[in-house]
Chain A
Amino acid sequence: MKTRFLILPLVASLVLWSCNDQSSDSAAGSATTEPDGFVRINATIQGYNAVQPWDRGNPISRRGLGAVLDDGLIITTSEMVAKNVYLEIESADGTSREPAEVVVIDREANLALIKSTRAEESFVKELTPMELSPDLNPGDTVLTWQLKKTGEQSATETTINAVDIVPSYGGGKSFFSYLLKGSLQSSTNSFTLPIVSDGKLAAILTSYDSDEQISETLASSVIKLFLEDAADGEYVGFPSLGIAGTSIQDPAFRDWLHLSDEDGGVYVTVVRAGSSASKAGIEVGDVIVEVDGQKLDRKGYYEDETYGKLGWTHLIRGQKKIGETIAITLKREGEFQEVTATLGGSSDRLVPTEYHEDGPQYLIKGGVIFQKLTKQYLLAYGKDWASRAPLNLLDVYLHSENYEEAMDEAVVLTQTIPSQTTVGYEQVGRCFVEKVNGVEIRAMADLEKGFEKPEKGVHTIQLSEAPYLIYLNAEACDQVDQALLQQGLPSLKRIHE
């Protein structure tokens, strides 16, 4: 069970005194230089209500640390700053506080760059920017930095236990991580901690498992790629091949795939439409045996020169940039084939994990609520959402590849607000919208087009499930919508073109 640093109870600070003293002693001994390039980050995070998407959720305060880089930029995790309604940075000793803004955010990689809104007058200018550390190895010791209430730095020595490709918090994509072994104290700013080696930024801590005492991090090599991308002001993100695969260990399955004992590889289960892989001619059922000249083993690992066995996706996400090409060797029906893929970014999934940074998309027409399906919406069905959420919605989430031709976004009639227009439609909901007034609905924006042309004063909405058809009185819809606005609904829609 992973425990993430979220809001920490105040009680923890009592414990801190004794532990912190110890750790800072040991830290003082091992750190050659004591960098001062940290700031506290205070964020007020406010998401949206998945069921009533016009409503904000409860605000949450997050506190964490950021590492100061050149040009007054501060690096932190996207988890720390995403969906913030207020963001501020604070000097280590607590004497200066300044509002800050997000410069670049990558929720897939869980990284963000922020800066003070005060530009040249900012206290950040006084701090020494941190450099990125060169790559480290298992066995190396690093310091995990925290700030005590007094503003003094506290560093805990931890050891790189292993390196691995670890799924990130945001998009389910995996990134290179140092796994650190060592006990950390709870602290009032434990969210997003800089990991330092030899005075340089080696990684950012993303989660800590207090039972195992293992920290997961984003290594400096990932941060480096992120910064290089962001440097020109046009951030494009990490490259993606656009496939899903599974390891191939069962002997009968291997024989059926005509794999010899030497062959490893990954069995391709999904190729996303329009992806780099699809353009390169990779098909479901292919076995990817070699990527960029590296042979994959039966579990999908390749032999990295520095680190030994690493997950194959690192060859793409950890070493390539969008627009670069990569050579891939496939085995298809017993024959080896060479393909070259030109890497693109990871396009939006049909059912994205997160809603848009500006809030979930919706449209209200006469009290009928339409929403773009996201995983966040499905999560609103609770702990057992994977079996409790409506099956038709789950199916699109789990098997998007079957729907990509029919839709660009999954537009769902989620529910109806009781009103004069929705009389009798109390049970209608949780179904996909196929047409509105004859207009095919492939994305949220199509709804608006459809609702522009009611016939004989009636809107006709065609649905994927019973009752398949509902009708709304166009004039009454407008009245109901106006009334909803008067009752305090901030807006009748949030649609991104």
Chain B
Amino acid sequence: MITILRCFTLSCLLFGLASAQALPVEALAPSVKTPLTNTEIYSSVVRIECSTQVYDYRQPWAAGRFGGGIGTGFLVGKNRFLTNAHVVSNARRIIINKRGSDIKHTAKIIHIAHDCDLAILEVEDFSAFENLPYLKISDEVPQLESEVKAVGYPVGGNRLSVTRGVVSRIDFRPYAHSQVDMHLIVQVDAAINPGNSGGPVLQGDEVVGVAFQGLTQADNTGYMIPVPVIERFMKDVSDGHYDRYVDLGASHFPLFNPAMKQALGLPQYSPGVFISDVTPDLACDGVLERGDVLLEIDGNVIDNGGNIEVAGEQVLMHEIVERKFAGDEVELTFIRDGKKLKKKITLVPSKASRIYAISYDVKPRYSFKAGLLFQPLDFNLLRTYKLDNPALSQLYNNYVDEGVFKEREDLVVLTNIFEDELTSNLSGFTGKVVKSVNDTDIVSLKQLHDLLAAEELPEFLVFWFEGSKKPLVLKSADLKGADQRIGARLGITQPANL
């Protein structure tokens, strides 16, 4: 049975717990030496009300759908409120309420990290919050079975809620907000409900996590973002902008099979994993090759399943990269052709892999020409149009690993053909990726747009699509006035957003 991760996003109520910590940078926390009282802790946990505007990928020119939700945040530094990215994604207006006060403080996003679901907000006028303590972020991941409490503004009432529970599990799991990112996660059995999102989970007066997601098909399972992920985020933004996580950029295959070890010239009890793919342009490109056996990462021995041991716990070897930043180095020890090699790689973020993540806050790109709507492929598009033709799926799946992104900045999809005398005979093309137009390979939305917007067009525009066995043909002479005619009917004021 598949359990669906549910992230309480803005369409419904959000849940959150609040915790606080001094920011490494410009942290000017009032010096609080004695432990904070519960009342002091509660006072630093705020209610966040967010109004959103979610773009409609079926009508990318339109304003989108308005909605909103409630979440929690907490004070971690001077005019710095930590919360979840999903609490304030697609925000048009953010309001922060202090505990016990109806005054609405307008806030804005300073940093937002969709890949680890964290964000930092500030209010326009901090004076009302001046006297509140900053919640400190603990240095450690809490122990299994140790007690925690979650503080926030979940459903079921308007006032602050506190729930208690224990740490049930520490794992490496997907983060629902972006759908693709996996990081360390801590499961607790304290009730965490919609609205708790972004709130602190505390041990004593220290924050050990940020409550952020739950499971729809299980009871008493709430998840929080643990200290290492929060710390990494804080450190990443300390230079003023968020640079995202970095990837190793190599896939591995477990080396449990004795015949495989024998064939690779390894002793029977040798550690290591088989490198099956190296992602072009990422850190390992040019260093590792398919067929190498990766033995160590930063001096940590990799077992045959791809795990290393950190502080007595088995974790995936990626945990080493998880805690690093773009530009950091990692040392790899591997075997190639029977020789043991040691090389350093420099980590880089993978821009291309964001094609697999839900995107927020960004107005969808499109180009509209003669009743044809072209949009670049990403997760949002895939989900909106339920695109599943095999040729498209294969390009999408291979986009990063097979280096499709190197040739094609965008996979441009013909998402809709709007009815018109010009288009009434065109069928069987929607949902497909544009391969070429008049023998020019299409590599980006802008390129396609410019090509179609040219003053002088050839007599025919011939579009070939991936996986399609016949072309779509338009006569340039027929296009005169078509954009205005069809555009006016649909209310398209802007022919493109590139």
Q: Measuring CB to CB, which residues of chain A are less than 8 angstroms from any residue of chain B? A: 244, 246, 249-253, 255-256, 267, 269-270, 284, 386-387, 391-392, 394-395, 398-399, 421-425, 458-460, 466-473, 476
Contact = CB atoms under 8 A, between A and B. Distances in A.
Given A269-B469, A466-B276, A395 B257 contact: no
Contact of B473 (A256, A386, A392, A459): A256
A120 to B, nearest CB: 55
Contacts of A394: 390
B253 A421 contact: no
Nearest to A428: B253
A250 B260 contact: no
A476 B260 CA distance: 13
Given A398-B390, A468-B290, A252 B460 contact: yes
Interface of A is mostly: mixed
B425 interface: yes
Interface string B106-135: 000000000000000000000000000000
8 contacts: A246-B470, A250-B473, A251-B475, A391-B397, A392-B394, A395-B391, A425-B257, A468-B276
Given A252-B460, A466-B277, A473 B259 contact: yes
B403 to A, nearest CB: 15
A267 to B, nearest CB: 6
A468 B252 CA distance: 11
B397 A398 contact: no
Q: Which 10 A-B pairs have the closest CB atoms?
A: A424-B256, A250-B425, A269-B469, A467-B253, A424-B257, A473-B259, A471-B263, A466-B276, A387-B388, A253-B473
Most buried by A among B262, B277, B473: B473
Contacts of A468: 276, 290
Contacts of A466: 251, 253, 276-277
Given A250-B426, A391-B393, 11 more contacts: A244-B469, A246-B470, A252-B475, A253-B470, A253-B471, A424-B257, A425-B257, A458-B262, A466-B276, A466-B277, A470-B260
A468 B291 CA distance: 9
A394 B31 CA distance: 65
Contacts of B471: 253, 256
A458 B259 contact: yes
A185 B86 CA distance: 60
Contact of A423 (B257, B291, B394): B257
Interface residues of B, number: 38
Contacts of B264: 471
Interface string B449-488: 0000000000010100001011111110010000000000
Nearest to B264: A471
Nearest to A251: B425
Contact of B390 (A391, A425, A467, A472): A391
B382 to A, nearest CB: 12
A425 B259 CA distance: 11
A423 B258 contact: yes
A252 B390 contact: no
Given A253-B473, A424-B254, A466-B251, A399 B259 contact: no
B274 interface: yes
Contacts of B467: 398-399
Contact of A472 (B259, B393, B473): B259
B125 to A, nearest CB: 53
B290 to A, nearest CB: 6
Contacts of B290: 468
Given A423-B256, A424-B256, A471 B390 contact: no
Interface string B270-291: 0000101100000000000011
A468 B276 CA distance: 7
Given A251-B425, A391-B394, A392-B394, A471 B260 contact: yes
A469 B470 contact: no
A392 B394 CA distance: 8
A246 B429 CA distance: 14
Most buried by B among A423, A467, A471: A467
Nearest to A267: B470
Most buried by B among A250, A270, A423: A250
B255 interface: yes
Contacts of A387: 388-390, 393
Contact of B263 (A386, A422, A458): A458
Contact of A395 (B255, B263, B394, B460): B394
A477 to B, nearest CB: 9
Contacts of A458: 259, 262-263
Contacts of A471: 257, 259-260, 262-264
Nearest to A460: B263
A252 B474 contact: yes
B259 A476 contact: yes
Contacts of B390: 386-387, 391, 394-395, 398
A10 B335 CA distance: 69
A470 B79 CA distance: 57
A489 B419 CA distance: 58
A423 B257 CA distance: 5
Interface string B241-267: 000000000010111111110111000
Contacts of B253: 466-467
Contacts of B256: 423-424
Nearest to B427: A250
A170 to B, nearest CB: 23
Nearest to A250: B425
B262 A424 contact: no
A404 B292 CA distance: 32
B277 A470 contact: no
Interface in B369-404: 388-391, 393-394, 397
A386 B425 CA distance: 25
A467 B276 contact: yes
Given A251-B425, A398-B390, A476-B259, A246 B276 contact: no
A297 B254 CA distance: 59
Nearest to B398: A391
A392 B460 CA distance: 34
Given A252-B478, A469-B291, A421 B276 contact: no
A467 B425 contact: no
B470 to A, nearest CB: 6
A394 B259 CA distance: 31
Nearest to A387: B388
A441 B473 CA distance: 40
Contacts of A425: 257
Given A250-B426, A467-B276, A256 B462 contact: yes
Contacts of B470: 246, 253, 267, 269
A252 B457 CA distance: 15
Contacts of A255: 460, 473, 475
Nearest to A246: B470
Contacts of B260: 424, 470-471
A467 B394 contact: no
Contacts of A398: 390, 467
A373 to B, nearest CB: 14
B372 to A, nearest CB: 12
Given A395-B391, A471-B259, A246 B460 contact: no
A129 B258 CA distance: 68
A469 B394 CA distance: 21
Contacts of B474: 252
A344 B13 CA distance: 67
A172 B260 CA distance: 44
Contacts of A391: 390, 393-394, 397
Nearest to A475: B259
Given A256-B473, A269-B470, A467 B274 contact: yes
A338 to B, nearest CB: 24
Contacts of B391: 395
A246 B257 contact: no
A117 B473 CA distance: 60
A473 B262 contact: yes
Contact of B258 (A256, A267, A386, A473): A473
A246 to B, nearest CB: 6
